Amino acid sequence: MKNLNQKLICIAVCAACLLTGCTRGGEPEPEAAPAETTAVTEETAAETTVTAAETEAVTTKKTECTTAASTAATAAETSAATAAATTAAETTQAAKSYSDDDLITMARRYYGSRTNHIPQFIDVDTEQNGIVSLHLYDLFDGHTATAAWYYVDRTTAAGRDIMDHLINLNDPEGSLWNPEVTLRREFGDGDFCAVQYLGNTDTDLRETLRRNVALMELPMQNQAYAWFSELPEANYAETDGGEMYLIIPRDSEAHIVITAVDPVQNKEYGRIYSSYNGAPVLLRCNQSEIASNVTIQITDNSGEHPAFSPYLSGKDGRPVTDSDHVKILNES
């Protein structure tokens, strides 16, 4: 009886195990997910991936559009700023107006660098509709000696001269004769100028040189004077008298003014020469043997030097000056 009960209990336990699905380890196995649920989950995941990709694409496109718009706006702003600056510059240039002093300085440079003569006076004479008339002139013995008339626009400094030639006071300087003079190397430390006496003439310099240059005492065969044959008429200075002198300033950039004077009445007549550069000058002067009828003023990079006069000594006929700092080349 006892054995029968034990058998019944064992059968009951086995049946219970079968009904509850126990594993070998005694733990229940996880139930398998239904096939329909798995399919739905995979479809949802796929839709989520597609949605994320679309979102990224849209975001990228928006970013590109925003960047392009920003770049276009910056370019437009830069273009507008450039246009505004250009307009402002053009307006400033159009509004620019030269003062009277500006035009006078420009006229002196323009005329002087083309003629080797600096007029004593330059006046703004009249102005009409922005056109300024400039009078360039010297005074000699109380009379006006006109060098030029310029009629230029105040905003451009361009216009015409009295001969109706086109001019522009902003043009570069002209090219004037100004040779290398090796004689300058022989000057003493304190000499600012040299003088060479060339003899006498009974006519003007142009005719004298044309007729017979050998009349001069100048050693034309000397290479140091090779440039003399090219000396232009713009470098002639003449007044009453027959003595001829070659004036050579030490500084090739010197400004030379030669004034005619009356030594008896101690009176100045006016300028007969006013150079734009320091090239040598051929001078005819001295009607009287008693005193010179010219004074020579030289201003160079070291300053303005005292005026002097060349003449022949009444004692021995040698050329001299009234300055201790002018070299006499005839004595070399």
Look up residue 196 and give its DSSP letter. E
Q: What is the pLDDT of residue 330?
A: 86
pTM for the structure as a whole: 0.71
Q: What is the C-alpha to C-alpha distance for residues 305 and 131, in angstroms, rounded to an integer?
A: 39
- pLDDT of 95 reads 55
For residue 169, give both structure tokens. Answer: 């006071």
3-state secondary structure of 236: strand
**What is the structure's pLDDT at 92?**
45
Which residues does 153 contact at the CB level (< 8 Å), separation at least 6?
Answer: 130, 131, 132, 159
Average pLDDT across each block of 10 residues of the chain; the chain has 332 residues. List them in order.
Answer: 45 43 43 42 42 45 47 52 51 70 98 97 96 97 96 98 98 96 92 94 92 66 84 96 96 97 94 96 92 97 97 93 94 71
Assign 77 to helix, strand or coil: helix
Q: What is the DSSP string of 238-262?
A: E-S--EEEEEEESSTT-EEEEEEEE
User: What is the rounded distance in angstroms from the CA atom of residue 311 to the CA atom of residue 160?
Assistant: 43
- d(C-alpha 288, C-alpha 218), whole Å: 23
Q: Which residue has the tokens 């030097």?
A: 305
The predicted pLDDT at position 60 comes to 46
Go through the chain and tell me how many residues it has: 332
CA-based diameter of the chain, in Å? 186
| Strands 243-249 and 281-285, bridge-based pairing | antiparallel
Strand-pair category, 166-168 with 236-238? unpaired
Structure tokens at 222: 């000397």
- DSSP H stretches of helix in the chain: 2-20, 35-95, 100-115, 205-211
Predicted pLDDT at 221: 63
The letter for the amino acid at 315 is: K
